[in-house]
A and B are shown apart, each in its own frame.
Chain A
């Protein structure tokens, strides 16, 4: 469904992604793993075209995204959840969801506010609170819910488990598995294996912006030296 082919991305003169390639199949939950600074967020942004790759291709449903405006990428069914959450702090929960709302899309779930409130019960209680009045965990839920309002068929989750309480991490894992059961494809990034083990089917490990491993979780588990070399514990 998503194919990254020899992507090179830069910030000014800093070469951050070098010849990065990997694929994600429809219906999979893929984990993009790597240490802090490995280039995970840049990969996500390069898919969304928030960072435009200088060379290479990002093929989504057989179309090259490189050079498209981010809103066009989103309109094709890619949902992006940034690591720093970027919720609209002055807007209420309902208004945040409104910003994300897009028309129904063929071949994927059409989310309503009530469905999302079922998925994230905390949000239902806080629907009229402003973003800045919410805890980190609630903000993380809101940013996922906001993206789902766009009815994406493919979701990019940048470090969904970072900086939130263990109970909420568990809830997050359940949500991701539910998305998978609804037929969505997910690419999530993590610095370590804990969370990925609970949800992912396949893993891509990057270091210095280059791909070091691409395979199933079972294959990765069989090669602990790879994990030790490229991931934090």
Chain B
């Protein structure tokens, strides 16, 4: 019994930081409609800033002042980010804002690395709160008890602010209809900035508060992001009581999980989430998203059309240049080209559901890494030949996509996005924690191609044929009735239903196809590298693909491919520098602001302006 209670208390204490970060994310989303991916980064900053302040400010007063100050400082950093990065993109489509916040993650990662170094930082103990208290004979850290008291006060304070003050009224009103709030004379820009300050300050506070429990390290940002998404999805986007309840639920289950099922703590979290969503699709306290509620207006879609003769000739010429590469390229160039080809197929598969289907998936790495692991496991445990493994990889990834798609497609918009991310993290944690089979972090090694394909040149040709084939197949599907149905479902589900299209089924099939294609890429990837590690399933991988699709241009069919080449090329150059993340992050943010149509879209517009290509207007 005592043990049980001690566990419960620890779980409740752990809920504090999680709640603060999740409620900040929720608040920011409610008012600005931006899912702030960088929220984990502000949490990390809170920890580091708090740590530095504690070095300077002595004693108990200094400790608590440091925590509060860390919140304020991180809030101010959030304000800078809001003004410099997000203000220019509020009117852009959701995906652009996401990509911008991802750029912020990269920038903050490197700035943190520069400032505090790569070593993990050990959190200082809270003065006067070291040691444990015995509760029914079981030790409970005093600091946990302090957190237990502090969190409800923060929650109450937040609740008071939101329900009882003018600022809170404006925030809630803006969550519902921000344009109307503006028409009533409220300056939205400042409201947005204020909410961003509050949300980031909460994240910073959470980071600083957990210092004595976990210290600070450079992985904190992504590590908490998953849990935060799960909490927000379970609690319901935009609901503070929901965030609190879900944070407690997840944290308490996490603590018990460590005790009773140490192998499956991460998995447990996702199982709970899926269960909740089965019963309440918008979370415990959430409300359904009303389509078109956010009044995002973009340019009208251009009809996509099969490539014209000139475009076909360009593609053919490009392929010829590629095919001749072994003649003039070095073997290093061939390896890089193989990487790029594989990555392009991966990105094209995401582009298929994202661009054509409007399904913004944050977890596409699940299928890339999934395919890679299917192939690697088959080789490791069943001595499967490469040819068969390459066939079974997409099959496995496709099956995973069918299951994951079935759950995720019950939801739309940001919920869909966060669910896909959560599922990819579920797969990642399975692979990571199920060490006996997957060898965890050590990865699966010695996965080499069959003898005939083991040369760099042969494998390059193999990749060229399969990836080009895959991309052409996806393009073909885009122009087939299936592709039209998918776009109809994206543009107006209701109209599509009225014409007899089963939109969910079409989207489900597209999701499965995209998953299988990512699996093809994953299979090719394993044999090209000879090994696979869990990071192929990571959020960062999913984001790579998202960035590529975005860089290339969501609305253009060539987007995935062009973006893939651009990103891999840029990365290849940038990764030679120490702070390449910083450079890449800044580059991404600049592209979001300067060329929001992506590389292909922007190039096309420029070409139209200069009269090289015919514009949309003339072609009518």
Contacts and interface: CB of A to CB of B under 8 A. Distances in A.
A170 interface: no
Interface stretch (A56-64, A67-75, A117-125, A212-220): A67-75
A63 to B, nearest CB: 16
A100 interface: yes
Residue from the set A50, A75, A88, A101 with the largest chain B CB neighbour count within 10 Å: A88
A36 interface: no
A12 B173 CA distance: 28
A40 B188 CA distance: 26
Contact of A95 (B169, B181, B299): B169
Contacts of A146: 184
Interface string B59-76: 000000000000000000
Interface string A139-151: 0000000110010
B173 A91 contact: yes
B177 A88 contact: yes
Contacts of B297: 12
Contacts of B176: 88-91
Nearest to B176: A88
The secondary-structure label for the interface of chain B is helix
Given A48-B183, A50-B179, A71 B188 contact: yes
A182 interface: no
Nearest to A74: B185
B172 A100 contact: no
B136 interface: no
Nearest to A151: B185
B173 A71 contact: no
Nearest to A48: B183
A13 B616 CA distance: 12
B173 A88 contact: yes
Interface in A69-107: 69-71, 73-75, 80, 82, 86, 88-91, 95-96, 98-102
Residue from the set B170, B179, B183 with the largest chain A CB neighbour count within 10 Å: B183
Contacts of B170: 99
A86 B177 contact: yes
Given A86-B177, A88-B177, A98-B166, A74 B184 contact: yes
B300 interface: yes
Contacts of B169: 91, 95, 98-99
Interface string A43-57: 000001010000000
A99 B185 CA distance: 9
B173 A70 contact: no
B186 interface: yes
Contact of B187 (A48, A50, A71, A96): A71
Contacts of A89: 176
Interface string B163-197: 00010011011001101111111111000000000
B172 A86 contact: no
B185 A150 contact: yes
Contact of A12 (B172, B186, B187, B300): B300
Given A12-B300, A98-B166, A69 B173 contact: no
Contact of A71 (B166, B172, B183): B183
A70 B184 CA distance: 8
Nearest to B177: A86
Contacts of A88: 172-173, 176-177, 180
A14 to B, nearest CB: 10
A99 B186 contact: yes
A69 B299 CA distance: 21
Nearest to B168: A95
A71 B180 contact: no
A50 B183 contact: yes
Contacts of A98: 166, 169
B166 A70 contact: no
B208 to A, nearest CB: 32
B185 A102 contact: yes
Interface in B129-163: none
Contacts of B177: 86, 88
B356 to A, nearest CB: 22
B180 A86 contact: yes
A80 B183 contact: yes
B170 to A, nearest CB: 6
A95 B165 CA distance: 10
A177 B188 CA distance: 33
Contacts of B187: 69, 71
Given A70-B179, A82-B183, A98-B169, 11 more contacts: A12-B297, A71-B188, A74-B182, A82-B180, A88-B180, A90-B172, A91-B173, A99-B181, A99-B184, A100-B184, A102-B185
Top 8 A-B residue pairs of the complex, sorted by shortest distance between their CB atoms: A74-B185, A99-B173, A70-B182, A86-B180, A88-B173, A71-B182, A70-B183, A98-B169
23 contacts: A50-B179, A69-B187, A71-B182, A71-B185, A71-B186, A71-B188, A74-B182, A74-B183, A74-B185, A75-B185, A82-B180, A88-B180, A90-B172, A90-B176, A91-B173, A95-B169, A95-B172, A98-B166, A99-B170, A99-B173, A99-B186, A101-B166, A150-B185
Interface of B: 166, 169-170, 172-173, 176-177, 179-188, 297, 299-300
Interface of A: 12-13, 48, 50, 69-71, 73-75, 80, 82, 86, 88-91, 95-96, 98-102, 146-147, 150
